A and B are shown apart, each in its own frame.
Chain A
Amino acid sequence: MAATDILIRVENLVKYFPIMRGIIFQKQIGSVHAVDDVSFNIIEGETLGLVGESGCGKSTTGRAILQLQRPTSGHVFFKEEDLVTLKRNDLRKMRRKMQMIFQDPYASLNPRMTVGEIVGEPLTIHGIDRGKELQDHVDQLLHMVGLDPAYANRYPHEFSGGQRQRIGVARALSVNPSFVVCDEPISALDVSIQAQVVNLLEDLQNELHLTYLFIAHDLSMVRHISKHVAVMYLGIIVELTDRDELYKHPLHPYTKALLSAIPIPDALAEAKRQRIILQGEVPSPVNPPSGCRFRTRCPIAQKKCGESKPEFREVGSNHYVACHLV
């Protein structure tokens, strides 16, 4: 992995949300450890899949990278620039290079703006186009995501969920970014539409040489689109490696449990297979367990798992795990 290929470098990213009490004079009485020291790289032109259960911090990670949530500490390098240290105006200029596709196709579009206005807004904000050129550019974008440009003056409520998601893609790509965070972009869609949208994303990635951070909780979909996969649990990354390696040789007990939950389309094999079922509830991110966070649900936990935090270290070629027992 040559250093020049890395587009995004995340170093020790931390995001805590304070919990406040009090009416007039507010005091902080604790914090939610949403993202707790996370580091990874994303190579230009590739897709990193980020998986985990709901509430593990993956969406927050995505937002923290884009500086939609300012990190509590840590660094996010876009090429050589540390986004965390950028001031507002510089950050706004950087927005042209990194964008986001949102999860909810119904809530992510302003119901009182036409589709054309929604897709064209980034172009207006950054002064890229005006007037006729703006119209043409918007039409071109709509066509690129598979929508008929004649409907640019319709309103979002006149479109289906899958179509609205395409509008969201068009909006994100309007400024020609290099990096796109896809925050569970297909979770809210019907299964048959999911495939269409994912294919669209792939085609666009090839055409425009985009880099994706694909956040999802559906492992099988992540497997299809990602080159590398990171697994998150309660704010930390527990395993990170390239896609095939993860699905063939998972090392962390959590990853193994997740993978065992994916149904196999072969009824006999499915019946014979041993599922790993995790005990207990996900601990609260306000007060994570000491040592290894996963130990309260881990089927192979031992005493030393409660004593010290496992280091996130390389155990194979390009295969990182955070576990004492690997």
Chain B
Amino acid sequence: MVAQLTEDTKPVPAGGTPLTHKRENLWQDAFRRLVRNRAAMIGGTIILILIFIAIFADFIAPYPYDKGVLTDQNKVPEWMGTLFPTMKPYMKTSDKYPFGADYIGRDIFSRLIYGTRISLSIAFIGATISLVIGIIYGSISGYFGGRADNLMMRSVDVLYAFPGLLFIILLMAFFRSSFAKPQVGTFGSILGQIDSHMGGMFFIIIGIGLTAWETTARLTRGQVLSAREKEYIEAARTVGASDVRIMFRHILPNIVGPLIIVETLAIPAYIGTEAFLSFIGLGINPPTPSWGAMISDGAQSIRTYPNQAIFPALALAITMFAFNFLGDGLRDALEPRMRGSQ
């Protein structure tokens, strides 16, 4: 049977037309799916709005975040009385402050607005650091394999066993104390100055980066390991591609998808961690406003002036929602076979 076929059949040039008519690559396809996901679009829009607020905070906020008018302590606008009826008997009203003033007389609304800067910076810079370190570490470990990989992963495993929050608390305590009052001119003092210029964010970002890269590294390594065995990698090697070229041109583009998904979904955790650190006093230096610190301040007076804690809590919740929705949408878009079962 084979003999008969081979004699007469020749490759047909017209047989070279592809099967599909659409011209799109996998990224465009995923993007289309993402846009159709309403929840993800809502999340994305919220994030864009927050970015806008953060950049133009100076123009949007009606008051500065650090100067309080002491005589305006704890004042609230009228409508809060209906929202929080327990406050009615003793509240002092004023129309100056949209969400009320805190215990030093600072405007809560303005502080919330400036707070977006903190939360978003932590979110994006933290995610970037985690991705950069994690991808480099994981790729090297996964690509070269063998003993090196074994050793590298075992180290990460042990570090991983350290309860995350505990580790970060210890780190922050360490950073704060050792770099707070060092001798002038040493490395420590330089770091300390960077940190105080950034309102305390520098060390928080380092702390988060140091704890977050482990998951990214492990994920990257897993992806690299499975990508490495694919035949097109072997094909690339056959045509003479160098290791570097294989890594950047063949492996990385194919694994970047899941990494971005995971990172986006991890961002709420970063924001939450910073909020908690500020809550216990190990985070952002006052008076720079962080939603976590505002919750901490407000928690003191939760019985009397609940608005001071609840509004920052809402801000935190909304931001984390947005990132979660977006991350979920990304995941559905980039891995469509999971849809309906995830």
Interface presence of B16 (CB below 8 A): yes
CA distance A199 to B8 in the complex (A): 9
Please choose the segment from B85-93, B228-236, B270-278 that sits at the chain A interface, where 4 or more of its residues have CB less than 8 A away: B228-236
Q: Given A110-B236, A122-B239, do A155 and B26 touch, yes or no (CB 8 Å)?
A: yes
CA distance A164 to B238 in the complex (A): 17
**Contact A110 B232, beta carbon cutoff 8 Å:** yes
**Contact B16 A147, beta carbon cutoff 8 Å:** yes
Q: Which of A262-316 contact B (CB under 8 A)?
A: 265
CA distance A109 to B234 in the complex (A): 10
Interface presence of B12 (CB below 8 A): yes
**Contact A199 B236, beta carbon cutoff 8 Å:** no
Interface presence of B5 (CB below 8 A): yes
Q: Which of B1-30 contact A (CB under 8 A)?
A: 1-3, 5-6, 9-20, 23, 25-26
Interface presence of B33 (CB below 8 A): no
Min Cβ gap A118→B in Å is 8
Which of B2, B11, B20, B230 sits near A224, CB closer than 8 Å? B2
The contact string, 1 if C-beta is below 8 Å from chain B, for chain A 113-149, is: 1100000011001100000000000000011011110
Interface presence of B154 (CB below 8 A): yes
Q: Given A147-B16, A199-B10, A199-B11, do A220 and B238 touch, yes or no (CB 8 Å)?
A: no
Chain B residues with Cβ under 8 A from A191's Cβ?
2
Chain B residues with Cβ under 8 A from A143's Cβ?
13
CA distance A166 to B3 in the complex (A): 21
Which B residue's beta carbon lies closest to that of A92?
B240
Q: Which of B208-243 contact A (CB under 8 A)?
A: 230-232, 234-242
Min Cβ gap B236→A in Å is 7
CA distance A191 to B15 in the complex (A): 16
Interface presence of B176 (CB below 8 A): no
**Contact B235 A221, beta carbon cutoff 8 Å:** no
Q: Which of A21-57 contact B (CB under 8 A)?
A: 23-24, 26
Which B residue's beta carbon lies closest to that of A107?
B231
Chain A residues with Cβ under 8 A from B1's Cβ?
265
Chain A residues with Cβ under 8 A from B250's Cβ?
110
CA distance A24 to B239 in the complex (A): 35
**Contact B231 A102, beta carbon cutoff 8 Å:** yes
Which of B10, B235, B254 sits near A108, CB closer than 8 Å? B235
CA distance A194 to B239 in the complex (A): 24
Which B residue's beta carbon lies closest to that of A192?
B5
**Contact A175 B239, beta carbon cutoff 8 Å:** yes
Please choose the segment from A93-101, A233-241, A317-325 that sits at the chain B interface, where 4 or more of its residues have CB less than 8 A away: A93-101
CA distance A136 to B9 in the complex (A): 28
CA distance A168 to B236 in the complex (A): 11
Q: Given A111-B254, A153-B23, do A102 and B235 touch, yes or no (CB 8 Å)?
A: yes
Which A residue's beta carbon lies closest to that of B21?
A158
Which of A68, A109, A114 sits near B232, CB closer than 8 Å? A109
Interface presence of B185 (CB below 8 A): no
**Contact A95 B239, beta carbon cutoff 8 Å:** yes
Which of B3, B147, B240, B253 sits near A122, CB closer than 8 Å? B240
**Contact A95 B238, beta carbon cutoff 8 Å:** yes
Which of A96, A104, A162 sits near B231, CB closer than 8 Å? A104
Which B residue's beta carbon lies closest to that of A100?
B238
**Contact A148 B23, beta carbon cutoff 8 Å:** no
Which A residue's beta carbon lies closest to that of B23?
A154
Indicate the member of B17, B237, B238, B245 with the most A CB atoms within 10 Å.
Answer: B238
**Contact B16 A125, beta carbon cutoff 8 Å:** no
Interface presence of A208 (CB below 8 A): no
Min Cβ gap A208→B in Å is 15
Interface presence of A196 (CB below 8 A): yes
Which of B11, B234, B237 sits near A200, CB closer than 8 Å? B11
26 of the cross-chain contacts (CB-CB < 8 Å) are A23-B154, A24-B151, A66-B238, A92-B240, A92-B242, A99-B238, A107-B232, A110-B232, A110-B250, A112-B26, A112-B254, A125-B240, A146-B12, A146-B13, A151-B18, A154-B18, A158-B20, A171-B239, A191-B2, A195-B6, A196-B11, A199-B6, A199-B9, A203-B11, A220-B2, A224-B3
A-B residue pairs, 3 tightest by C-beta: A147-B16, A146-B11, A95-B240
Given pairs A125-B241, A200-B11, 20 additional interface contacts (CB within 8 A):
A26-B150, A68-B238, A95-B238, A95-B240, A107-B230, A108-B235, A110-B254, A121-B249, A125-B240, A125-B242, A126-B240, A158-B18, A158-B20, A172-B239, A191-B2, A196-B11, A199-B9, A220-B3, A224-B6, A265-B1
